[in-house]
Structure 1
Amino acid sequence: MPAPTSSPTVPDAAQGASALRAEAEEVLRRLVGDPSAQLREDQWTAIEALVADRRRALVVQRTGWGKSAVYFVATALLRARGAGPTVIVSPLLALMRNQIAAAERAGVRAVTVNSTNAEEWGRVYEDVRAGAVDVLLVSPERLNNPGFRDEVLPPLAATTGLLVVDEAHCVSDWGHDFRPDYRRIRTLLADLPAGIPVLATTATANERVTADVAEQLSVTGTRTLEDVLVLRGSLDRESLRLAVLRLPSHAHRLAWLVQHLPQLPGSGIVYVLTVSAAADVAGHLRAHGVEAVAYTGQTDPAERLQAEDDLVHDRIKVLVATSALGMGFDKPDLGFVVHLGAPSSPIAYYQQVGRAGRGIDSAEVVLLPGAEDRDVWRHFASIGFPGEEDVRRALDALAEAGGTLSTPALEARVALRRNRLEMMLKVLDVDGAVRRVRGGWEATGRPWSYDAERYERVARAREVEQRAMLDYQATEGCRLEFLRRALDDPEAAPCGRCDNCGGFDVPRDVDEDAVRQAGTDLTRPGVPLEPKKQWPSGMAALGVPLTGKIAPAERAGEGRSVARTTDLGWGAAVRELFAATSPDQETPVPLRRAAAAVLDDWARELGLDGVVAMCSASRPQLVAHLAEGLSRYTGLPLLATFVLRPDAGPTRSDVNSPHRLAQVADRFRLPPDAAVEGRTVLLVDDRTRTGWTLAVAARELRRAGAAQVHPFVLADGE
């Protein structure tokens, strides 16, 4: 960047605006590498508001419109006028990497602080303080890191020249991808000196979200929009050709992918709804000659980087991804997006399909909905903001501690699972009821009220979005017009390019041999169950004397499940079996055959000597029938059946590991006549969710003399 200079004095406002625009377009041309590039009118309006008027602005424009050009051009102009560095709050590492590369083209030095470059933080902070950095990109999570919040953020806020909130719909809990960490931005906004411009950008905000975000940007504190410039444009994407294709089974959908992905233009993304589906679909495609890689939130960060790079440079045909590959991934020539299963809202769907066709004339977008989609939606809806009782329990635990509690220590006092607990704490932190500090969390003592009405309204809004997604699949009207109306685009009109408009004749043929092969792959049962090796921390607070590593002599061996509840193949059968409305029953015949097939494939080399059955309060008939049937099938004796303690009450599975272990640690007994000493045992139960019941039962068997214990269940998961 050139050294800051004073803004020239101009005799006329119009001349000044004209000169500023000319300067802005010179920066734009460096940014995009096109000597003839010109700003869109709304781009210029936003830049002028930020640079000349030092205003706050919200830009809602489609993916690929050029929102990042607004803040990079504005940064260059502000820095040339002596302003401090721009701070960009950006949600994903992929977005950060792309933005840093774009900034360099405009002569803007950009650096990032995120979870993957901790070793660079000290140098980055020194460069920021020295004025050598033009743009600092930070993740929303970093805003509430105690060290960053207390030591870096105050001086940074005092010297910031421009604050940018990217993917700003995340600020609003009405947004389809609300993130509690984004709420911390409100505190940052309040700490900015007067006259510091602020820009928020998103491609996916309907009118309600737009109003909510704009109100939070307001500097007046009166929730008025008078001081916020809102620029909202058409959400048309002229390159996208959309279609919905209903196929009769999972096997048909997989076969369609194998048959037709190679013919789709360029490289692209296949979105799936679950982590297990990503691995299964990518594996199936690779086995049938399609270069595919799985990409999920559980993928190792280095592997994610490599996968993104491979897709960008067309070294693979497709990434099979969950929503972890979403905001910010930038490949302008991405040729297609296929969804194997529908997202839960048209707004989320629009965002994901927006990855395609940003820099090419035509891209193909196909939705292959599945019968299991609504089950997945219900699952994710069930893990929203906790009920008031759980929240109060957490607040009471922190208050009683009188100091700092780590998240694991708090888990021992509150039954919520880790992800829900951390999400709740982040919301309470933003609301001022708790504070994140080094080592954990503290209560602030400030009054806090549970806004049950708002949480219920948000839940109802999610249900409306789910119904709208089903309506999208069923509509006979224009697909893109439907999505644009869902985002309250006033210019929504038929696109002329989708399957319903007659502009996209998506191939519907499926090779029957490929269907049979996919069916064979899907119906091949068997999922490994890894044994627990460490007791959860904090068990002493729950009165359970288990701590540290599980002794090898008390540990289970590897087990097997017939299927995960999220699997594309057998998942549907086990979900139906364990549905709340399904009665206790004998093992269904298809699952009997699947269980036998798993044993045939897995248990031959285990040297099993007998079967032990778990006890079940909810499905005793199913567990007994499964254990007895496996005993008969293998010819192994049924050595014992665990029994419930007489005072054993109902348990909850939707709790965290410490509380689940506390529920089952002393729940059942091995009969004294169990003949397990020196034997290798097949431990049979109906399902596992957390693995702690199997771990406790295996410990009892090992302590009773069993040489090895190998768990076996029908289902793994909720």
Structure 2
Amino acid sequence: MTSTASSAPLKEQAQDLLAQLTGAPEARFHPGQFEAIEALVEHRRRALVIQRTGWGKSAVYFISALLLRRQGSGPALIVSPLLALMRDQVQAAARAGVRAAMVNSSNVTEWAAIRADLAAGELDVLLVGPERLNNPDFRQNWLPELVRACGLLVIDEAHCISDWGHDFRPDYRRIRDLIANLPAGVPVLATTATANERVVEDVAEQLAIQQGGQAGPDSVFILRGPLSRDSLRLGVLHLPTATDRLGWLATHLGSLPGSGIIYTLTVAAAEDTAAALRAAGYPVLPYSGKTDADERAEAEEALKENRVKALVATSALGMGFDKPDLGFVIHLGAPSSAVAYYQQVGRAGRGAIKADVLLMPGREDREIWEYFATASMPTPENTGAVLAALRQASSAGQELTVPALETRVDVKRSSLDLLLKVLAVEGAVERAERGWVATGAPWHYDAPRYERVLQARLREQQAMLDYQRTSTCRMVFLAQELDDTTAQPCGICDVCAGPWYPSGLDPALTAQAGITLNRTGVEIEPRAMWPSGLGSLVSEATVDHGKPLGGRIALQERAQAGRALARLTDLGWGNRLREIFAPGPDGSPLDGPVPADLGRASLQVLADWDWEQRPVAVVGLPSPVRPALASSLARGLAAAGKLTDLGDMEWVKEPEHFGGNSVFRCAGVLGAYRLPDRVQEYLASSPGPVLLVTDRIDSRWSSTVVARMLRKAGATAVLPYALAITH
């Protein structure tokens, strides 16, 4: 940097950098942008900026970073939540002459070179994901030097800090400790476009943390702008069925402006919708947490370059995706809060671009909200079990990996990962070199706080339902949910100006969509490996010569690929199956003979099944929850297919740990079933493929263990079939 530039007034320097950043010499700051830069660079403040998407928050921290570098400060450290966001920011920084790099799981081979550039003072900005703050190697080998040299700390998407926010991420809680350890005088910037007043207060309180104590949230510079977006034309279209919603898309997607995003609530819905729209001739791609990382990056580029009409995405495509000319956002199913909805639709209508935003809610939305809410909420039983296991191991000098911990606590892997993060950021456990350990710090389950969070979630869900029925301007409604009271009626939404979207459906396209949604048959992939640590739970889990079960399941003892009528999360048959598997009015399971429509659909699955050899017999896998449903399905399929009906497997005991993690589920199934004599006698004299029938498959361990028993008794193949598979 030249001495002339360094000695120029701060606003003049900032204006020059803005011109470089935007590539427009005539560019001027939006109201509040320079004030935020001044607070950081001139006064070394801690600042929280709440501004709508597209306002230019990244310009604030890039320009501030360069100005602080001119003054001799070290590089800026930016904590950013998503790979897509990091990639975009690194590219934007390079265009502005900012020397930036990112450290995350996608570029491990570049880390050594990045550390060398940092040591040589060759970087202005380093972006890291919040999960790095929970990585022992990063905390030990990177973080001390980064904290010592840091010239500016930026927390992007700062609403993730708060467990009151719609997108709370436990790893973000570690930022509180990072802020507290910063040297005096290092400015801190937190930015977000989606924060109501409760989240703002929580984030400001954490920003105020300082070495030796807390200065108080009043010490934080808060810049809050209007959140209403006059570039978005909002609407809600109520259609009775998933087929109708998909038929509307197939009919009208081509008339929507430019390219855009179609959001769904589940992975299955994203895949099904993408398949149906491709069948209708539209160039679309699915995008979810299941999509391979390289394929996700390619899909993002395809949308940015308008090579596809839309990405059909889950919330995995959210914060940080930047396409200035995104023309529309459609939701098939409503997010669980108006704040989350605002965040997703904020991808569109940036700058001078107008965009259409349409919500098509589904009757299954509430069930999906409840599933995700209960899956992510720690319970006293789970947290207590995890802490007890880690404390016991730590007292013996042991570190427990997640698979090892699974053999000691009956908690699903996804919930276990979340629990460990929560306990880690609250200081009760920590990741060591070889696994997890208890710290010995006192900790208690904060039931009142979790109850308050739960009630906040329920209020958010109700607000989303109210949004669908509101007689208030939809943009005003969303802004008020973010505690912005300045919004004025937009004049263009379907409440202000009447429906702007067509409601008619092309019968042929809708029928085709229905065929796609209502297709029968989902493959059930057979398990190929025993869960690690199984022998420590079940002593009788042995194979020949007393060797404990472990490693790969022998091919000659393995089930074949099975079939289910549908996933419970599917849009088509999934809706019908959720009715069957829903609890009754008193909360107890509904049970009874298989309904005729599900029986006919099951026969269609069997007719379409491309098995190498037709089964010779049917064996029922009894259900501990809906025995009549499972048994009647097995009997009906045997009769309709003219297959030998060998009856049901016999209980030795009901499987334990229903709903627990993989190793406990497997251990609970081992020893739970016995082959009836008639089955053994039949297979001994007439070996052949066996159709193994049950109502629902979740962990796949019951079908895996029983398949092994049938194969050892003489079945040449075991073909599992169920009405539903959970995922």
TM range (shorter): over 0.9
Tell me the residue number matched to 1:636.
643
How does the TM-score come out when normalised to structure 1?
0.96
Tell me the residue number matched to 2:571.
568
For 1:658, the aligned partner's letter is V
Query: Is 1:335 equivalent to 2:327 in the alignment?
Result: yes
For residue 172 of structure 2, give the secondary structure of its aligned residue in structure 1. helix
Which of 150, 157, 165 aligns to 1:167? It is: 157
Query: Is 1:126 equivalent to 2:116 in the alignment?
Result: yes
Tell me the residue number matched to 1:664.
669
Deviation at 1:605, TM superposition (A): 4.2
Deviation at 1:187, TM superposition (A): 1.3
For residue 424 of structure 1, give the secondary structure of its aligned residue in structure 2. helix
**How far, CA to CA, are the matches of 1:466 and 1:271 in structure 2?**
17
Query: Is 1:695 equivalent to 2:695 in the alignment?
Result: no
For residue 603 of structure 2, give the secondary structure of its aligned residue in structure 1. helix
Which of 128, 135, 145 aligns to 1:145? It is: 135
Deviation at 1:654, TM superposition (A): 2.6
Is residue 4–residue 79 contact of structure 1 (8 Å, CA) maintained in 2? no
**How far, CA to CA, are the matches of 1:667 and 1:418 in structure 2?**
23
Is residue 289–residue 316 contact of structure 2 (8 Å, CA) maintained in 1? yes
Is residue 241–residue 504 contact of structure 1 (8 Å, CA) maintained in 2? no
**How far, CA to CA, are the matches of 1:46 and 1:437 in structure 2?**
39
Which of 370, 385, 388 aligns to 1:396? It is: 388
Deviation at 1:590, TM superposition (A): 0.8
1:553-607 Cα distance to aligned partner (Å, 9 max, x none): 1100010000100000000111111112152100011101100100111156432
Deviation at 1:6, TM superposition (A): 10
**How far, CA to CA, are the matches of 1:71 and 1:246 in structure 2?**
42
How does the TM-score come out when normalised to structure 2?
0.95
For 1:394, the aligned partner's letter is V
Which of 412, 416, 419 aligns to 1:417? It is: 412
**How far, CA to CA, are the matches of 2:305 and 2:610 in structure 1?**
44
Deviation at 1:357, TM superposition (A): 1.1
Residue segments in structure 2 that go unaligned for 5+ positions in a row: 542-548
Tell me the residue number matched to 2:615.
608
Deviation at 1:287, TM superposition (A): 0.8
**How far, CA to CA, are the matches of 2:635 and 2:209 in structure 1?**
70
For residue 112 of structure 1, give the secondary structure of its aligned residue in structure 2. strand
For 1:114, the aligned partner's letter is N
For residue 352 of structure 1, give the secondary structure of its aligned residue in structure 2. helix
**How far, CA to CA, are the matches of 2:409 and 2:35 in structure 1?**
50
For residue 243 of structure 1, give the secondary structure of its aligned residue in structure 2. strand
Tell me the residue number matched to 1:13.
none
Q: Compared with structure 1, are the counterparts of its residues 489 and 431 closer, same or farther at alpha carbon in structure 2 (3 Å cutoff)?
A: same
Tell me the residue number matched to 1:473.
468
Tell me the residue number matched to 1:322.
314
Which of 427, 430, 452 aligns to 1:432? It is: 427
Tell me the residue number matched to 2:45.
55
Q: Compared with structure 1, are the counterparts of its residues 707 and 51 closer, same or farther at alpha carbon in structure 2 (3 Å cutoff)?
A: same
Q: Compared with structure 1, are the counterparts of its residues 151 and 614 closer, same or farther at alpha carbon in structure 2 (3 Å cutoff)?
A: same
Q: Compared with structure 1, are the counterparts of its residues 6 and 250 closer, same or farther at alpha carbon in structure 2 (3 Å cutoff)?
A: closer
Is residue 6–residue 81 contact of structure 1 (8 Å, CA) maintained in 2? no
The 5 Å alignment of 1:52-451 reads 52-220=42-210, 221-222=213-214, 224-402=216-394, 403-451=398-446
Is residue 241–residue 503 contact of structure 1 (8 Å, CA) maintained in 2? no
Q: Compared with structure 1, are the counterparts of its residues 213 and 223 closer, same or farther at alpha carbon in structure 2 (3 Å cutoff)?
A: farther
**How far, CA to CA, are the matches of 1:503 and 1:624 in structure 2?**
53
Query: Is 1:552 equivalent to 2:555 in the alignment?
Result: yes
Tell me the residue number matched to 1:680.
689
Residue segments in structure 1 that go unaligned for 5+ positions in a row: 9-15
Deviation at 1:422, TM superposition (A): 1.0
1:612-642 Cα distance to aligned partner (Å, 9 max, x none): 1112222121111101100011101012420
Is residue 332–residue 360 contact of structure 1 (8 Å, CA) maintained in 2? no
**How far, CA to CA, are the matches of 2:552 and 2:611 in structure 1?**
30
For residue 209 of structure 2, give the secondary structure of its aligned residue in structure 1. coil
Is residue 5–residue 81 contact of structure 1 (8 Å, CA) maintained in 2? no
1:475-499 Cα distance to aligned partner (Å, 9 max, x none): 1221111000000002122111101
Is residue 655–residue 669 contact of structure 2 (8 Å, CA) maintained in 1? no
Is residue 533–residue 555 contact of structure 1 (8 Å, CA) maintained in 2? yes
Deviation at 1:382, TM superposition (A): 1.1
Tell me the residue number matched to 1:528.
523
**How far, CA to CA, are the matches of 1:311 and 1:157 in structure 2?**
37
Tell me the residue number matched to 2:546.
none
1:311-331 Cα distance to aligned partner (Å, 9 max, x none): 000000000000000000000
**How far, CA to CA, are the matches of 1:7 and 1:32 in structure 2?**
21
1:90-130 Cα distance to aligned partner (Å, 9 max, x none): 00111111111111122110000011100111111111111
1:228-247 Cα distance to aligned partner (Å, 9 max, x none): 10111100112100000001
**How far, CA to CA, are the matches of 1:664 and 1:499 in structure 2?**
54
Is residue 475–residue 489 contact of structure 2 (8 Å, CA) maintained in 1? yes
- Which deviates the most, 675-684 or 21-30? 675-684
For residue 673 of structure 1, give the secondary structure of its aligned residue in structure 2. helix
**How far, CA to CA, are the matches of 2:469 and 2:29 in structure 1?**
39
The ranges of structure 1 where at least 4 consecutive aligned residues each deviate by more than 6 angstroms after the TM superposition are 3-6
For residue 490 of structure 2, give the secondary structure of its aligned residue in structure 1. coil
Which of 493, 496, 507 aligns to 2:502? It is: 507
Is residue 496–residue 503 contact of structure 1 (8 Å, CA) maintained in 2? no
Is residue 280–residue 509 contact of structure 2 (8 Å, CA) maintained in 1? no
Is residue 204–residue 350 contact of structure 1 (8 Å, CA) maintained in 2? yes
**How far, CA to CA, are the matches of 1:676 and 1:216 in structure 2?**
67
Tell me the residue number matched to 2:545.
none
Is residue 611–residue 682 contact of structure 1 (8 Å, CA) maintained in 2? yes
Deviation at 1:222, TM superposition (A): 3.6
The 5 Å alignment of 1:574-593 reads 574-581=577-584, 582-593=589-600
1:644-684 Cα distance to aligned partner (Å, 9 max, x none): 11xx2574433110111111111111112312242100000
The 5 Å alignment of 1:1-80 reads 2=1, 8=7, 19-80=9-70
For 1:629, the aligned partner's letter is G
For residue 306 of structure 1, give the secondary structure of its aligned residue in structure 2. helix
For 2:708, the aligned partner's letter is R
**How far, CA to CA, are the matches of 1:277 and 1:438 in structure 2?**
39
For 1:169, the aligned partner's letter is H
For residue 382 of structure 1, give the secondary structure of its aligned residue in structure 2. helix
For residue 376 of structure 2, give the secondary structure of its aligned residue in structure 1. coil
**How far, CA to CA, are the matches of 2:625 and 2:132 in structure 1?**
44
Is residue 265–residue 363 contact of structure 1 (8 Å, CA) maintained in 2? yes
**How far, CA to CA, are the matches of 1:474 and 1:386 in structure 2?**
33
Tell me the residue number matched to 1:12.
none
For 1:426, the aligned partner's letter is K
1:413-461 Cα distance to aligned partner (Å, 9 max, x none): 1111111111111111111111112222111111111101001110111
Is residue 324–residue 353 contact of structure 2 (8 Å, CA) maintained in 1? no
Tell me the residue number matched to 1:496.
491
For 2:315, the aligned partner's letter is S
**How far, CA to CA, are the matches of 1:586 and 1:656 in structure 2?**
30
Alpha carbon RMSD of aligned pairs, Å?
1.5
For 1:702, the aligned partner's letter is R
Is residue 390–residue 400 contact of structure 2 (8 Å, CA) maintained in 1? yes
For residue 686 of structure 1, give the secondary structure of its aligned residue in structure 2. strand
**How far, CA to CA, are the matches of 1:640 and 1:676 in structure 2?**
13
Tell me the residue number matched to 1:711.
720
- Which deviates the most, 540-549 or 292-301? 540-549
**How far, CA to CA, are the matches of 2:2 and 2:413 in structure 1?**
49
- Which deviates the most, 230-239 or 664-673? 664-673
For 2:287, the aligned partner's letter is Y
Is residue 176–residue 209 contact of structure 2 (8 Å, CA) maintained in 1? no
